[in-house]
């Protein structure tokens, strides 16, 4: 039977149970977090990853932080510690701030705090389903779609964003085929998006990142749909490294590039992409992508490993959210959406 989604995390009454994404697709195993430090490490080491899922995980982290703290000062320190686990995905701060509000208002009432974390998880799945309905309307009949990294169910509490849009359009009979960029160096496209697409029964082809340009030039791609880690008020978007290059090629050959993300990914405090912090990760991710000790380059070579890049708003055709599709000019239309909220 075809799978519809994945359960990426759940609270079992004592601990947060998380599908360990470092091991997929070969091993499907769960990892456990029972305190704030475990949650911090799960996010930092990418047991869980993807902006919305990082936010959901951190929400449960706030529950542990409240449980462990003797006073509000200690609690707030732990919340800041959680936010520092990964710098680019704004969903992390968004979720911690939302949880903090409930925690302070309720005087650190653990029941109330846990309920809010469960609500954030539930709302994430609902938002993904809604944005996917909007996004599917942008996909034309008989389309071949390209995606980068993993913005599927595995990157969220369930269903997915960019892959959610593709899945919805496929279920409506509009998607002929999907190309998945392998996404160096952590290979989220190869390991996770391929795995999801196969399980959903969607015809998919895995490509090295560098093959995308040729497919776009040769008119083999009708639309590109990707996720986001942080969207600035002018529409500039941080997403997995390689998205910027893809957007330049897409624009040169007039292929639409859509960003699919919940409103929790919009940073209403940041005017433009140059203000978004870009995470640089360990050099070993590039030298030893499988983490097996078999280096693919000399161990003393200098390495630059930015995890994200900024796609400028002029390369983005539309931003798909759970409240509707935002078209350029983004600066006006993001503001309108916010004011409507
Ligand atoms: O480093 P990762 O795997 O957390 O990066 C994930 C991405 O860049 C995704 O495209 C983004 O978070 C959106 S996930 C719905």
The model's confidence at residue 271, banded by pLDDT at 50, 70 and 90, is very high
Across the range 37-47, mean pLDDT stands at 98
Give exposure, 68-85, as e/b (b: 16+ Cβ within 10 Å). ebeeeeebeebbebbbeb
User: What sign for the dihedral angle of Cα 273, 274, 276, 280?
Assistant: positive
DSSP 8-state symbol, 111: H
Task: Quote the pLDDT of residue 339.
Answer: 75
Question: Tens digit of pLDDT for each residue in 67-90?
Answer: 999 999 999 999 999 999 999 999
Residue 216 has pLDDT above 80, yes or no: yes
Task: Quote the pLDDT of residue 300.
Answer: 97
The rounded distance, in Å, linking the Cα atoms of 257 and 240 is 14
Task: Quote the pLDDT of residue 341.
Answer: 64
Question: For the chain, give me the number of helices (H) and strands (E)?
Answer: 12, 13
How many Å is the Cα radius of gyration of the chain?
A: 19
CA of 178 to the centre of ligand 1 (A): 18
Catalytic residue among 222, 229, 236, 267: 229
Across the range 151-169, mean pLDDT stands at 98
Task: Quote the pLDDT of residue 6.
Answer: 94
The separation between the first and the last C-alpha atoms of the chain, rounded to the nearest angstrom, is 39
DSSP 8-state symbol, 280: B
Confidence (pTM): 0.97
Structure tokens at 5: 């989604």
Mutate to test the pocket of ligand 1, among 131, 155, 159 (most ligand atoms within 8 A of CB): 155
Structure tokens at 175: 């998607």
Which residues sit with their C-beta closer than 6 Å to ligand 1?
A: 49-52, 89, 149, 151, 155-156, 161, 188, 227-229, 239-240, 307
Residue 282 has pLDDT above 70, yes or no: yes
pLDDT, mean over the chain: 97
Task: Quote the pLDDT of residue 338.
Answer: 77
Element (H, E) at 258: strand 257-260
Across the range 29-55, mean pLDDT stands at 98
User: What sign for the dihedral angle of Cα 58, 64, 65, 66?
Assistant: positive
Task: Specify the ligand 1 atom closest to the Cα of 89.
Answer: 12
Q: Which of 36, 31, 16, 12 is nearest to 84 (CA)?
A: 36
Mutate to test the pocket of ligand 1, among 128, 148, 166, 227 (most ligand atoms within 8 A of CB): 227
């Amino acid at each position: 039977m075809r799978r519809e989604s994945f359960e990426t995390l759940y609270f079992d009454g004592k601990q947060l149970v998380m599908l360990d994404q470092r091991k997929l697709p070969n091993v499907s195993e769960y990892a456990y977090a029972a305190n704030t430090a475990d949650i911090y490490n799960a996010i930092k080491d990418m047991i869980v990853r993807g902006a919305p899922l990082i936010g959901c995980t951190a929400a449960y982290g706030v529950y542990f932080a409240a449980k462990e703290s003797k006073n509000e000062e200690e609690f707030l320190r732990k919340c800041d510690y959680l936010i520092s686990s990964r710098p680019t995905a704004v969903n992390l701060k968004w979720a911690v701030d939302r949880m903090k509000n409930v925690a302070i208002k309720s005087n650190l009432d653990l029941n109330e705090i846990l309920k809010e974390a469960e609500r954030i998880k539930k709302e994430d799945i609902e938002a993904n389903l809604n944005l996917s309905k909007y996004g599917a309307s942008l996909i034309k009949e008989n389309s071949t779609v390209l995606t980068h990294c993993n913005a599927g169910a595995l990157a969220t509490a369930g269903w997915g964003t960019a892959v959610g849009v593709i899945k919805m359009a496929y279920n409506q009979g509009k998607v002929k085929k999907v190309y998945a960029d392998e996404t160096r160096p952590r290979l989220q496209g190869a390991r996770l998006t391929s795995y999801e697409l196969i399980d959903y029964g969607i015809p998919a082809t895995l490509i090295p990142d560098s093959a995308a340009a040729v497919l776009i030039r040769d008119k083999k791609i009708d639309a590109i749909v990707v996720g986001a880690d942080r969207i600035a008020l002018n529409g500039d978007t941080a997403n997995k490294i390689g998205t910027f290059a893809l957007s330049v090629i897409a624009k040169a050959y007039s292929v639409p590039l859509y960003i699919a993300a919940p409103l929790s990914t919009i940073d209403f405090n940041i005017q433009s992409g140059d203000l978004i912090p870009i995470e640089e990760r360990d050099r070993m991710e590039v030298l030893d992508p499988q983490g097996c000790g078999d280096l693919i380059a000399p161990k003393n070579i200098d390495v630059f490993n930015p995890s994200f890049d900024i796609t400028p708003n002029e390369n983005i055709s539309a931003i798909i959210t759970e409240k509707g599709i935002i078209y350029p000019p983004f600066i006006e239309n993001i503001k309108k959406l916010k004011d409507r909220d």
